[in-house]
Amino acid sequence: MGRDVYVSATLAGRHSLGPDAVAKACGEVERELRDGTAEYAIRSFMPGNGLTRCGGRGGSGLVTVKIDESSFMAVWDDVSSFDAPTAALGAVGRLLGAAGEISIRVTALVADVAMGSVQFAGGLSPATFATTTFHLSQPAPSGDKAGEDEAAFGCVATRARSETANISIIGERKSAVPAVRETLARALDALSAHCEVLTI
């Protein structure tokens, strides 16, 4: 890719764990993250049992995990990398996702994209918009069945200068807890394919 892409992956869900179980889960999450290269921060806001744990090597982005009484969120951010610590994030979902599905959201921001390379829905002219939204077709991951584990991708284009736009790509889907790791990896692969078109 020819320019920086600001990439983020977010897992969000609900849990039904008590304070002691959350503290134990945080310890297990930290062990998973400690083995990777990303910096991490784990924060629990459980009443009477809050905690903060930080660490990591600072080599591949930042993972932030936040837990309250009934929900959790894990966010990974990096620049020009789609290699999220999917095993560690999958472990967050497995250890905390005790109350149903987990929402997965992957996003990317590509700045100063030439407007001529932006494909607009509805025949909008690249030269006449301030901000517009449109859907993106889903690139099928190689070897996968069509439609399997697809995220629904959308896009927001905001004019930066007369000839360029800042493009935000957003993909979302729900996942069953056991499939979070694989679903996240596929969503990031598809996000990478969309960004490849915009950064050549």
Per-residue pLDDT reduced to its tens digit, 96-115: 887 889 999 999 999 988 87
How far, in Å, CA of 162 to CA of 137, rounded? Answer: 26
Q: Which amino acid is it at 118? A: V
pLDDT at 37 (0 to 100) = 77
At residue 151, does pLDDT exceed 60? yes
pLDDT at 67 (0 to 100) = 94
At residue 132, does pLDDT exceed 80? no
Overall average pLDDT of the 85-97 stretch:
88
At residue 191, does pLDDT exceed 70? yes
Chain length of the chain = 200
Give the helix/strand (H/E) hosting 178. none
Q: Nearest CA to 196 among 151, 146, 139? A: 139
Check if the beta carbon of residue 72 is closer than 8 Å to that of residue 96: yes
Q: Given pLDDT bands bounded at 50, 70 and 90, which one contains residue 143? A: very low
How far, in Å, CA of 99 to CA of 195, rounded? Answer: 33
| Percent of the chain residues past pLDDT 70, beyond the cut | 83
Q: Given pLDDT bands bounded at 50, 70 and 90, which one contains residue 146? A: very low
Check if the beta carbon of residue 84 is closer than 8 Å to that of residue 77: no
- pTM for this structure? 0.84
Cβ-proximal residues to 133 (8 Å cutoff; 6+ apart), any chain? 154, 155, 156, 157
The neighbouring-strand residues paired with 48 are none
Q: Given pLDDT bands bounded at 50, 70 and 90, which one contains residue 126? A: low
Number of domains making up the chain: 1
Overall average pLDDT of the 174-190 stretch:
91
pLDDT at 130 (0 to 100) = 77
Can you point out the beta strands (E) in 36-175?
Answer: 39-44, 51-55, 62-67, 71-79, 102-114, 131-135, 152-161, 164-175
pLDDT at 71 (0 to 100) = 94
Cα 170 to chain centroid, rounded: 9
Overall average pLDDT of the 133-158 stretch:
62
Range of the domain at 141: 5-199
Overall average pLDDT of the 183-189 stretch:
91
pLDDT at 88 (0 to 100) = 86
